[in-house]
Amino acid sequence: MDHTTKLSLRRQDYIGLETITVIISKKVPQWSTGLFDWQLPLIAKILDGESLLCCTATSDSKSALFGATAIIPVEISQYLLYVLGGASCL
């Protein structure tokens, strides 16, 4: 990979969705059932930079979309630092 190659992550494919599921189950054990079926694709779209509108009932866990999209990039960046050898510099 040279300096002009851009690392591109797509969270809406199978591996991306599975990564989101694993990170949420690890970082938010209070959500014992994990994400709802409707939340996972929306979180993936948000992380991929897509705009969306979510209309659901009151108390339907829309707030989890914000929380999850804050947790996931932090966890991925910490993992990438470790994999790329940057963690030893910290």
**pLDDT, tens only, 19-77:** 999 999 999 999 888 999 999 999 999 999 999 999 999 988 899 998 999 999 999 88
| Residue 8: pLDDT band with limits 50, 70, 90 | low
CB neighbours of residue 40 within 10 Å: 20
Please give the radius of gyration of the chain, using alpha carbons only, rounded to the nearest integer: 15
Domain contains 42: yes
In a domain, 83, yes or no: yes
Range of the domain at 40: 14-89
- Residue 18 located in a structural domain: yes
Q: Which helix (H) or strand (E) holds 45?
A: helix 39-47
* Nearest-angstrom CA–CA distance, 51 and 62: 15
Instruction: Confirm whether 24 is domain-assigned.
Output: yes
Residue 58 lies in a domain: yes
Q: Within a domain: residue 82?
A: yes
pLDDT at 11: 81
The reply to whether 8 falls in a domain is no
User: DSSP string covering 20-36, please?
Assistant: HHHHHHHH-TT-TT-S-
* Tally of structural domains, the chain: 1
The answer as to whether 56 is a domain residue is: yes
